[in-house]
Chain A
């Protein structure tokens, strides 16, 4: 048994190694060889990568960093495409030109063979797929990085959509996430100013979202929750899942036919107008974010269909955003400050949320935000767009090293995407006219809601009482230990390991110098005395020379004496 386990581990290790190699060479080919050589990839293919980097230097120079990053993501497949798309929502972390390039990343990929679809469906239905399905179309209606969707008909005659996960996608994703974590560590240590954004945490958060998106049982729950939240909205349709036929690799759900909202050229065939759809889309998004705290984080036009009867069909609930109750007020204050051009409120919401660094120049931040808002205040309300307003605010905040929370950025992105869709179908769409009254009303309702404030106060008092209950005993324990001289204080020095390694290296170098020196003197004495063969003395000189080279190379690598 242990031999089999060892073999499986070996095969797994080999696959991982191959993936490392592929990632490293792609990074190197696009001019990111430095990252490739300094992360875990160094162990695999360092020499090769250097060669590849040099070979492609001319091509790479002609492209911008953003273009190269986009190409790397495209070549490395689904995990990196998703990661790039996520980074495109971080204007606080990346410059605008890189964001623009990463926003171009497309999720569309070639479909996988139908045989795989048949296998997954058969497995999920306990080997009785032929009893459940009348037909399953071989040609997918959509193929994306994580799954593809086929139209099918159940034996009962109901038309359904069958969403099947790509083969091996989870294993590849795990390997890619391990490499991304290595890259994040390297960037945190070596790129000035990036450590503040905690790249490792960004990757971990992305990993959590991606793994959730790959677990289709979670998406089924999302479908049900979203449908329940909008049960009172007759203009909206959300596909109903057939839970008994679903698994972690498969979703069977009601098929909702319709036309992609941005593909409609003649609205006269529908009972709704583009303005009504634009208003409805905005209302749905605002309600889902600020009332349900559970929103569609990927509201691109492909997930927004218009049925022949004018109803809006929402699709793909794999990537959903959630907001904690406690964060809602902070987010609401931030958004109200933004759409009301109130820089004081914006700054206050940032400070209250604890997002600012300790040495924040509050007056400078307020001045920057005011300057930015003045520019927008001069734009007529008809011409004003929310997307650049959010982007410029994020950039102004970013200049002051304030890391905006991912959920706020997710909301910002969702609003921007929705605004883009609304403007494409109805160019006169005025987002502020919809968003501002909604946010201000909700903000006032929250501010004057006694229930939320009271619950928070009672929670706080209750926590204090619990702490107070243990306080006398804890204090008495500490005093008793102090009296007996048993009180120990543990100091956690986070840099102790690095300091120890550096000290070891210094000691090794000193020892090296001593060995080389002694070697030279001993060899010289042996040569002079003629006690042994001359070759022994020459060998001593050579060994001393090698040791000296090793010491010098160590000093050069560490950047000086």
Chain B
């Protein structure tokens, strides 16, 4: 297993968690209304699917939370160091 692979896994989990958090936060009502208009799914099927997708998003968000926090912390640290360097001692 290469170093690159390990870092890619961490970055991917962190990004997945961030995207899941974003998707859980934003309002997706429009999307479900659009699906209902196509009549591809019954209202019951839409409700069930919505529940399944929300559940999956919550799982992904939780599974990568640690990595997401780590990446965010590292990024903040990096930005702080850059700003410190620009400002000078």
Do they bind each other?
A: yes
Docked-complex contact A440 and B40, CB < 8 angstroms: yes
Chain A minimum-CB-distance residue to B52: A445
Q: How far is the CA of A227 from the CA of B42 in the complex (A)?
A: 32
Q: Of A16-24, A353-361, A456-464, which binds chain B?
A: A456-464
> Which B residues are in CB contact (< 8 Å) with A440?
35, 38, 40-41
Q: Is there an interface contact between B40 and A448, defined as CB atoms closer than 8 Å?
A: no
1/0 per position for A457-482, CB-CB distance to B under 8 A?
11101100000000000000000000
Residue count of chain B within 8 Å CB distance of chain A = 23
Contact B19 A450 (CB under 8 A): yes
Is B15's CB under 8 angstroms from A441's CB?
no
**How far is it, in angstroms, between the C-alpha of A124 and the C-alpha of B19 when the chains are bound?**
54
A451 within 8 A of B: yes
A365–B82 Cα distance when bound, in Å, is 53
30 contacts across the A-B interface (CB closer than 8 A): A339-B40, A436-B40, A437-B40, A437-B45, A440-B38, A440-B40, A440-B41, A441-B41, A441-B45, A444-B35, A445-B49, A445-B52, A445-B56, A449-B56, A450-B17, A450-B19, A450-B20, A450-B60, A451-B12, A451-B16, A451-B60, A454-B13, A454-B15, A454-B16, A454-B19, A458-B12, A458-B15, A459-B8, A461-B11, A462-B4
Question: Which of A342, A444, A459 has the most CB atoms of chain B within a 10 A radius of its CB?
Answer: A444
B11: chain A residues at CB < 8 Å are: 458, 461
Check if A198 is an interface residue, CB within 8 A of chain B: no
Query: Which interface class (under 10, 10 to 19, 20 to 34, 35 or more) fits A?
Result: 20 to 34
Selected contact of A450 from candidates B16, B42, B52, CB within 8 Å: B16
Contact B12 A444 (CB under 8 A): no
Q: Is the CB of A445 within 8 A of B19?
A: no
Q: Closest residue of chain A to B21, judged by CB?
A: A450
Interface majority SS (helix, strand, loop, mixed), chain B: helix
User: Which chain A positions have C-beta within 8 A of B4?
Assistant: 462
Smallest Cβ-Cβ distance to A458: which chain B residue:
B12
Known interface pairs A445-B52, A450-B60; 16 further A-B residue pairs with C-beta atoms within 8 A, sorted by A's residue number: A437-B40, A437-B41, A437-B42, A440-B38, A441-B45, A445-B53, A449-B60, A450-B20, A450-B23, A450-B57, A451-B12, A454-B12, A454-B15, A455-B12, A458-B8, A461-B11
B38 to chain A, nearest CB (A): 6
The 8 closest A-B pairs by CB, nearest first: A450-B19, A454-B15, A440-B40, A454-B16, A458-B12, A450-B16, A450-B20, A451-B16
